[in-house]
Amino acid sequence: MIIYPAVDIREGRCVRLTQGEFNKETVYSDNPVEMALKWEKCGAQYLHVVDLDGARTGKAQNIAVVSEIAVKTGIPVQLGGGIRTIEMIETILSKGIERVILGTSAVKDPELVKRAVKTFENNVVIGIDAKDGLVAIEGWEKTSEFKAVDFAKKMEDLGVKTIIYTDISRDGMLTGPNLKAMEEMVKAVSIDIIASGGVGKIEDIKNLKEVGVSGVIVGRALYTGDVDLREAIEIGR
């Protein structure tokens, strides 16, 4: 199980939002590259980067910074936020970024997912962000009519190999992940599920491993020191 430290970028800084709300922001660093290098030194095998400006505007904004992170850390990076076209996917992957995450665009344009998976295969990951079991879109500011599990099955049918599943109600709250929802998702599909949202202590990582997810994204808990990355990686192994 891979542990993914999260680096969320907004207006060039490394921040965390609480429950995805833009007015509940904590700035942790003015330099996302330095933050990424810190996690790399702690043994991170993969980084999860979110372009919050892109998620909100619908157009990726921070590609240059994320590319710098990928080059300087030398470890794989997956990027989400505002990725809406095949051309944009191509541009991002050409900058040394390993994987792109499609969220809103996957809900609104399944044809894009089909084409992207056919062209870029495992370099395309789908982000499913759920609010009360329904898929949220546009920087989590709107909810679609799709049930998260049904949508995951649909994505699996399109050839998607990895899904990042976030429970928005738990995100940034440090209250523990929604284990029931994660387990339901793991059982519903036969592809890799990366859990996101709510990790607040090392115990949460042990519990998620038992649920059977292939990876865990850890954000605020790393920045507050509630979770030690080296210890988390050890458990993942």
Q: Token digits for 167?
A: 């429970």
> Going by DSSP bridges, is the β-strand pair 124-131/162-167 parallel, antiparallel, or unpaired?
parallel
Asked if residues 117 and 159 have their Cβ atoms less than 8 Å apart, the reply is yes
Closest CA to 174 of 26, 19, 13: 19
Q: Read off the DSSP letter of residue 58.
A: S
Neighbours of 27 (CB within 10 A): 11
Active site residues: 8, 129
Give the SS3 label for residue 227: coil
Phi, psi for residue 18 in degrees, rounded to 5: -95, 125
